């Protein structure tokens, strides 16, 4: 479990519902966890793209230059 998962797990629920702060912290932690998952997926996909052969790139309709450009894109600013 990553740090975001730990944050989600330790922010307690009150017996009568969540306070505004606790609800905001849970929402923030959840969004951070989702964003981290997306970033990892993008990073892994771009790494895989960079290692495709010319034949594989041609098969999916990309040139080596396009693959290189995609690989160099920031995975967290998309």
Range of the domain at 14: 3-72
| Residue 78 falls inside a structural domain | no
The pair phi, psi for residue 73, each rounded to 5°, is -65, 150
Look at the chain and report how many structural domains it folds into. 1
| Residue 20 falls inside a structural domain | yes
Helix axis angle, 20-50 to 3-10, nearest 10°: 160
Which tokens sit at 37? 């998952």
Q: What is the mean pLDDT of residues 25-54?
A: 92
| Residue 41 falls inside a structural domain | yes
- Residue, of 7 and 59, whose pLDDT is higher: 59
- When computed from its CA atoms, the radius of gyration of the chain, rounded to whole angstroms, is 19
**Percent of the chain at pLDDT exceeding 70:** 72
d(CA 59, CA 56): 5
pLDDT, tens only, 28-41: 999 999 999 999 99
| Residue 31 falls inside a structural domain | yes
- Rounded to an integer, what is the distance from CA 53 to the centroid of its chain? 26
- Residue, of 19 and 67, whose pLDDT is higher: 67
| Residue 77 falls inside a structural domain | no
């Amino acid at each position: 479990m990553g740090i975001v998962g730990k944050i989600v797990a330790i922010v307690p629920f009150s017996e009568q519902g969540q306070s505004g702060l606790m609800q905001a912290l849970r929402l923030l932690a959840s969004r951070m966890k989702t964003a981290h998952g997306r970033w990892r997926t993008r990073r892994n996909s771009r790494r895989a793209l960079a290692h495709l052969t010319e034949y594989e790139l041609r098969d999916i309709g990309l040139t080596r230059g396009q693959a290189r450009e995609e690989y160099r894109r920031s995975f967290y600013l998309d």
